[in-house]
Structure 1
Amino acid sequence: MTVALMWEARAVPGGGAELLAWAREQRLAQEPARRETFRAPQDRVLVVTWWEASYDDPDLPELPDPPGDLVGRPVHRWRFESVG
């Protein structure tokens, strides 16, 4: 089964480039099958990783929370399983 982990953070005003750089530097304990990083208006950064694992696998590595001075609100995380 394919599981996608989504990590989304919103930077402090004007801090989008710094948050994006921080997210791109983060390494996971395991390599995902795929990883993509996105940016959006309002200094938001999204990282999606794809894994061949079960939905409830507790050992899938996730990105940590960034330093508090980079974010304007708590990180949002979602987990999805492929249905296709």
Structure 2
Amino acid sequence: MTVALMWEARAVEGRGGELLEWARAQWLASDPLRRETFAARGDRVLVITWWDAVLDDDLPELPDPDAALVTRPVHRWRFESLGTA
């Protein structure tokens, strides 16, 4: 089974590049099958990691950045893959 972990944060205005660099520099305790990083308007950064696991497995996740870098708490979601079309 494949599980996708999504991590999304919104930087303080004008600090999106700094948040993106911070997210890219974070190492996980083990390597996912895949890791992809996205940036969006509004200084948002999204990181998705894919794991060969079940939904409730204990998986390494990105930490929270320094509170001075973000405008709100990090959002995290877990999804179970239902296949591709």
* TM-score, normalised by the number of residues in structure 1: 0.97
CA shift at 1:77, angstroms? 0.2
Structure 1 segments (4+ residues) deviating >6 Å: none
Tell me which amino acid in the other structure corresponds to 1:15.
R
Tell me which amino acid in the other structure corresponds to 2:69.
L
User: What CA deviation, in whole Å up to 9, does each residue of 1:17-61 have, x standing for no partner?
Assistant: 00000000000000000000000000000000000001110x200
Alignment match, 2:44: 44
Alignment match, 2:10: 10
| 1:2-81 pair list within 5 angstroms | 2-57=2-57, 59-81=58-80
Provide the rounded CA distance (Å) in 1 between the counterparts of 2:69 and 2:32: 25
Please give the root-mean-square deviation of Cα atoms over the aligned residues, in Å.
0.4
Q: Show structure 1 runs of 5+ residues with no match.
A: none
Tell me which amino acid in the other structure corresponds to 2:55.
Y
* TM-score, normalised by the number of residues in structure 2: 0.96
